[in-house]
């Protein structure tokens, strides 16, 4: 038998850095989870930001985030021994930032997975073994400004064809495959129908369990054809209080024999005032378990799931963000409209359903057009990077 524990995103933000500098026991961040970590052979978490002192930001859309390398101390002392690096921030400070993170992990006896110095290397899977039981850990991330290319490093990308081929190869060598995926819609409790189809397809092709994170919120879970699929287990350590749902998390504990993979769900909430993870008790917090059941029930009916997920996408804020990107409208106008509380009026201006929007709709749906546009945008991006170095 082999025992494995998997948690979500660890955010080494300034508050966590300050905590490390003012306490003699940084592992106390993990509070009630510490006793569970002691009972497993392997404890896994997602290193959400690179741990680096580099100031060389990667050219991307969105924030470039990093943490002080000192922040590895809490996870190492807590007993975590594997870190997933495939996420949307893998390259926030370039390959140097990624390599610094790899070095920091290794120096603290933590194995970094889901990364590579090129695309082929990023496909290398970490296999753990105990008592004759072999488990492959396959870590990948949705494609943003983060994934490895043929001649450059980054995260192993989510690619249904390549991922499935790799799964087929692994099935011949191990007893179980646990797939850890970083993806999904930010601040949404429901996966998109595409995610559900894709994750179930992985299950049909030999994966033993799937763990998702990235959305900052806990999503539903299901057992599909004997395979447990957790669409998002939420943040593991998140010290901000602006959204209480961001502080809820599921930690999944597995027991694997050669023929079976059993799991147990451990719910926690990060308490910012106490700076520690605290167990969510079913008797004292029925609301959390009621919501988790509701999220999970939506997975059983495609139409219900589509309605729940689209409610989030259809919010005025989400719609206007995407329309701003599609029409290449300056994002500052979106910020101004939001501050003035006139997003509805702003949406009318950017949502022009003319032939240009029809063209965008067609490009997004047609595979051949996607290939061409992706190639052209890749070329444009490379030129942009050259000019701005």
pLDDT digits (tens, 9 = 90+) for 106-115: 999 999 999 9
Taking residues 14-19, what's their average pLDDT? 96
Taking residues 330-352, what's their average pLDDT? 86
Q: What is the domain count for the chain?
A: 2
Q: Which residue has the tokens 């926030």?
A: 92
- State residue 389's pLDDT score: 67
126 and 77 housed in the same domain: yes
Taking residues 54-63, what's their average pLDDT? 92
Q: Between β-strands 209-213 and 221-224, what pairing exists: parallel, antiparallel or unpaired?
A: unpaired
- State residue 319's pLDDT score: 87
Tokens of 132: 């004759």
Q: How many CA atoms within 13 Å lie on the side-chain side of 7?
A: 35
Contact 214, 236 (CB under 8 A): no
- State residue 353's pLDDT score: 60
Question: Of 308, 333, 351, which residue is a domain's last?
Answer: 308
195 and 268 housed in the same domain: yes
Q: How many CA atoms within 13 Å lie on the side-chain side of 201?
A: 12
| CA-based nearest residue to 116, from 144, 135, 139 | 139
* pLDDT tens sequence across 262-298: 999 999 999 999 999 999 998 778 999 999 999 999 9
Asked if the model's pLDDT at residue 330 lies above 90, the reply is no
**3-state SS assignment for residue 87:** coil
Provide the phi-psi class of 176: left if phi over 0, else alpha when psi is between -120 and 50, else beta.
Answer: beta
* pLDDT tens sequence across 354-365: 667 777 888 888
372 and 225 housed in the same domain: no
**Alpha-carbon distance 190 to 188, whole Å?**
6
Taking residues 236-240, what's their average pLDDT? 96
| CA-based nearest residue to 231, from 201, 203, 187, 195 | 195
Please tell me what DSSP assigns to residue 264. Answer: E
73 contacts: CB under 8 Å, gap ≥ 6: 20, 26, 27, 108
- CATH number (domain holding residue 148): 3.60.21.10
343 and 272 housed in the same domain: no
Length of the chain: 389
Give 369 or 55, the one with higher predicted confidence: 55
- State residue 354's pLDDT score: 63
**DSSP codes of every residue in 138-185:** EEEE-SSTTB-BTTB-EEPB--HHHHHHHHHHHHTT-SEEEEEEE-S-
**Alpha-carbon distance 247 to 267, whole Å?**
11
Question: Of 266, 289, 308, which residue is a domain's last?
Answer: 308
297 and 319 housed in the same domain: no
Please tell me what DSSP assigns to residue 281. Answer: P
Q: Between β-strands 209-213 and 227-230, what pairing exists: parallel, antiparallel or unpaired?
A: parallel
181 and 328 housed in the same domain: no
Domain hosting residue 268, numbered range: 2-308
List beta partners, residue 300: none
150 and 298 housed in the same domain: yes
297 and 328 housed in the same domain: no
31 and 153 housed in the same domain: yes
178 and 99 housed in the same domain: yes
The 3 state secondary structure assigned to 106-144 is: HHCCCEEECEECCHHHHCCCEEEEECCEEEEEEEEECCC
Taking residues 178-187, what's their average pLDDT? 97
**3-state SS assignment for residue 362:** helix
Asked if the model's pLDDT at residue 212 lies above 70, the reply is yes
Taking residues 56-67, what's their average pLDDT? 93
Asked if the model's pLDDT at residue 338 lies above 70, the reply is yes
**3-state SS assignment for residue 55:** coil
**Alpha-carbon distance 337 to 323, whole Å?**
13
Angle between helices 302-313 and 193-204 (to 10 degrees): 130
Question: Of 308, 339, 355, which residue is a domain's last?
Answer: 308
Q: Between β-strands 111-113 and 126-130, what pairing exists: parallel, antiparallel or unpaired?
A: unpaired
81 and 124 housed in the same domain: yes
How far is CA 41 from its chain centroid?
23
199 and 76 housed in the same domain: yes
**Alpha-carbon distance 246 to 62, whole Å?**
19
**Alpha-carbon distance 226 to 236, whole Å?**
26
- State residue 304's pLDDT score: 95
**3-state SS assignment for residue 214:** coil
* pLDDT tens sequence across 137-176: 999 999 999 999 999 999 999 999 999 999 999 999 999 9
Contact 202, 164 (CB under 8 A): yes
Provide the phi-psi class of 184: left if phi over 0, else alpha when psi is between -120 and 50, else beta.
Answer: left
Please tell me what DSSP assigns to residue 228. Answer: E
């Amino acid at each position: 038998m082999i025992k494995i524990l998997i948690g979500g995103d660890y955010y080494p933000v300034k508050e966590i850095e300050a905590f490390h500098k003012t306490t003699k026991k940084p592992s106390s961040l993990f509070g009630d989870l510490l006793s569970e970590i002691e009972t497993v052979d392997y404890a896994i978490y997602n290193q959400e930001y690179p741990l680096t002192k580099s100031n060389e930001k990667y050219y991307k859309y969105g924030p470039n985030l990093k943490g002080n390398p000192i922040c590895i101390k809490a996870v190492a002392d807590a007993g975590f021994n594997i870190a997933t690096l495939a996420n949307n921030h893998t390259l926030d400070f370039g390959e140097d930032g990624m390599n610094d993170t790899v070095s920091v992990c290794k120096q603290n006896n933590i194995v970094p997975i889901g990364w590579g110095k090129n695309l082929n290397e990023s496909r290398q899977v970490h296999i753990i073994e105990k008592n004759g039981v072999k488990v492959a850990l396959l870590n990948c991330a949705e494609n943003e400004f983060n994934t490895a290319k043929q001649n450059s490093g980054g995260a192993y990308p989510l690619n249904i064809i390549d991922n499935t081929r790799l799964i087929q190869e692994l099935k011949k060598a191990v007893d179980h495959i646990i797939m850890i995926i970083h993806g999904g819609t930010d601040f949404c409790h429901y996966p998109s129908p595409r995610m559900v189809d894709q994750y179930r397809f992985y299950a049909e092709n030999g994966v033993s369990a799937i763990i998702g994170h990235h959305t900052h919120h806990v999503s539903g879970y299901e057992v599909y054809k004997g395979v447990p699929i957790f669409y998002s287990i939420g943040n593991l350590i998140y010290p901000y209080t602006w959204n209480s749902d961001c502080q809820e998390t599921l930690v999944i504990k597995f027991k694997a024999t050669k023929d079976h993979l059993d799991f147990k769900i451990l719910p926690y909430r990060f308490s910012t005032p106490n700076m520690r993870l605290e167990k969510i008790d079913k008797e004292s917090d029925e609301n959390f378990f009621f919501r988790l059941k509701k999220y999970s029930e939506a997975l059983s009916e495609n139409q219900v799931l589509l309605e729940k997920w689209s409610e989030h996408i259809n919010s005025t804020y989400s719609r206007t963000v995407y329309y701003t990107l599609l029409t290449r409208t300056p994002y500052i106008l979106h910020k101004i409209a939001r501050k003035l509380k006139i997003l509805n009026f702003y949406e009318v201006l950017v949502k022009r359903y003319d032939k240009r929007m029809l063209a965008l709709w067609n490009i997004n749906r047609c595979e051949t057009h996607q290939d061409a546009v992706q190639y052209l945008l890749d070329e444009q991006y490379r030129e942009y990077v050259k000019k701005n170095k």
